């Protein structure tokens, strides 16, 4: 996505709030009270809004694993239903969901749901922005995994091939979503891990590390649902990595 022209967009937004006040009064109008920008959302009188809720309140809260499984199952079924039949896809080309559908279709059912990704987990994670690939991956392997699954991932590896220096692997021997979710038979177990891959990809992108993440079932005798998440960083990330390396940024 191209960045919008910096200056012009800025002006258009803020003008909306203050246009009525220009001209007559020479002194500054307190824009903080300018009504035009505010929304029409109603809030309960007891102030039960998202802003009144402590951010870490649910950090350690738990819910039933079964509930997650049910919701997840419905999400998977829904995603699958949305793309049954080429005509169906064709029909939806012009709707806002077209882009989602194309994602769905290219990866086969079901997709990693993108909306999860922008929700930033950062405040519960260490209060630093990762600058280098490794610190980002450690963030995912450790704190993020613990946040989601109450334990760290099992392994973090770098591709040994000189041709693919941009590939990293995060391994989970026994991923939650594969263990507890039963999905229709015709869908491989792999697809549930795609959900987690989507979350990882979202975190990478969100932190400014453009990446493609895919999930691969690589069972061992001991761990039948062992899953490897392959993280492939984009060209721009690798370029920046080199620059930062030279600059000595950690």
Partner 1 sequence: MLSYQSRAALDVLIPSTPCVLSPHSQLSKMSYYFTILSPTDTPIFNIAFGTSKGGGDGIARFRFPDTAQYMNQFIIHSSLDIVEEAQWTNGGMYLKHIDTYPPATAYISAFLTPSGARFLLLHQPPQLPSSGTSGSLGSSSLLGSSASTTRASSSSVAANPTSPQTEEAIRQFMNEIYESYVKTAMSPFYKQGMEIKSPVFRTRVTAAGKKWL
Partner 2 sequence: MSTQKASRIGEEIWKTRIDKVNAELVTLTYGTIVAQLCQDYDSNYQEVNKQLDKMGYNIGMRLIEDFLAKSGVGRCANFRETADMIAKVGFKIFLNVAPTVTNWTSDNNQFSLIFDDNPLADFVELPDDGRAQDELWFSNILCGVLRGALEMVQMQIEAHFVSDVLRGDDTTEMRVSLVRYIEDEMPPEDD
Cβ proximity of 165 and 238 under 8 Å: yes
Q: Which H or E run includes 216?
A: strand 211-217
Q: Nearest distance from residue 88's CB to partner 2, in Å? A: 12
What phi, psi does 215 have (nearest 5°)? Answer: -110, 135
- Give yes or no for residue 59 binding partner 2 (CB under 8 A): yes
Question: Is 127 one of the binding residues for partner 2 (CB under 8 A)?
Answer: no
How many residues make contact with partner 1 (CB under 8 A)? 57
Is residue 35 at the binding interface for partner 2, with CB under 8 A as the rule? no
Q: In whole angstroms, how large is the CA radius of gyration of the chain?
A: 23
Q: Among 84, 97, 99, 118, which residue interacts with partner 1 (rule: CB under 8 A)?
A: 118
By CB under 8 A, name the one of 92, 102, 103, 125 that touches partner 1.
125
Task: Examine residue 70 and tell whether it contacts partner 2 (CB under 8 A).
Answer: yes
Distances (CA, A) of 168 to 122, 164, 229: 22, 9, 8
Considering only 77-85, 125-133, 153-161, 192-200, which stretch makes contact with partner 1 by CB under 8 A? 125-133
Phi and psi for 12 in degrees, rounded to 5?
-65, -35
Q: What are the φ/ψ torsions at residue 230 (nearest 5 degrees)?
A: -95, 120
Contact 83, 104 (CB under 8 A): yes
Rule CB under 8 A: is residue 61 a binding residue for partner 1?
A: no
Q: Which of 122, 142, 143, 234 binds partner 1 (CB under 8 A)?
A: 122
Q: Closer CB to partner 1, residue 47 or residue 185?
A: 47
For residue 44, state whether it binds partner 1 (rule: CB under 8 A): no
Q: Does 36 bind partner 2 (CB under 8 A)?
A: no
Respond yes or no on whether the N-terminal peptide bond of residue 110 is cis (omega within 30° of 0). yes
Please choose, from the candidates 8, 9, 14, the residue with its C-alpha nearest in 3D space to the C-alpha of residue 36. Answer: 14
Q: Measured from the CB atom, is 116 or 237 closer to partner 2?
A: 116
Quote the tokens at residue 158.
């770098």
d(CA 10, CA 27): 22
Binding residue for partner 1 (CB under 8 A) from 120, 184, 219, 224? 120
| Minimum CB distance to partner 1 smaller for 54 or for 185 | 54
Per-residue interface string for the shown chain with partner 1, residues 9-38, x marking contact by CB under 8 A? xxx-xxx--x--xx-xxxxxxxxxx-x-xx
Nearest approach, Cβ of residue 174 and partner 1 (Å): 28
């Amino acid at each position: 996505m191209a960045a919008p022209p910096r200056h012009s967009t800025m002006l258009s937004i803020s003008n909306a709030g203050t246009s009525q006040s220009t001209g007559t009064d020479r002194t500054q109008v307190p824009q903080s009270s300018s009504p035009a920008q505010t929304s029409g959302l109603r809030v309960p009188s007891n102030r039960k809004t998202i802003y009144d809720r402590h951010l870490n309140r649910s950090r350690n809260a738990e819910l039933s694993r079964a509930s997650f499984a049910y919701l997840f199952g419905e999400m998977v079924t829904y995603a699958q239903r949305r793309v049954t039949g080429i005509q169906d896809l064709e029909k939806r080309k012009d709707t806002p969901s077209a882009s989602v559908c194309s994602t769905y279709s290219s990866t086969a059912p079901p997709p990693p749901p993108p909306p999860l990704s922008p929700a930033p987990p950062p405040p519960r994670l260490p209060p630093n922005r990762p600058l280098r690939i490794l610190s980002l991956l450690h963030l995912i392997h450790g704190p993020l995994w613990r946040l989601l699954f109450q334990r760290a991932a099992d392994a973090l590896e770098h591709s040994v091939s000189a041709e693919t220096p941009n590939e990293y692997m995060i391994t989970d021997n026994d991923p939650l979503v594969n263990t507890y979710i039963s999905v229709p038979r015709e869908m491989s177990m792999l697809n549930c891990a795609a959900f987690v891959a989507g979350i990882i990809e979202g975190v990478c992108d969100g932190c400014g590390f453009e990446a493609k993440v895919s999930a691969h079932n690589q069972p061992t005798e001991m761990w039948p649902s062992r899953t490897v998440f392959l993280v492939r960083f984009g060209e721009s990330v690798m370029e920046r990595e080199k620059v930062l390396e030279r600059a000595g940024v950690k």
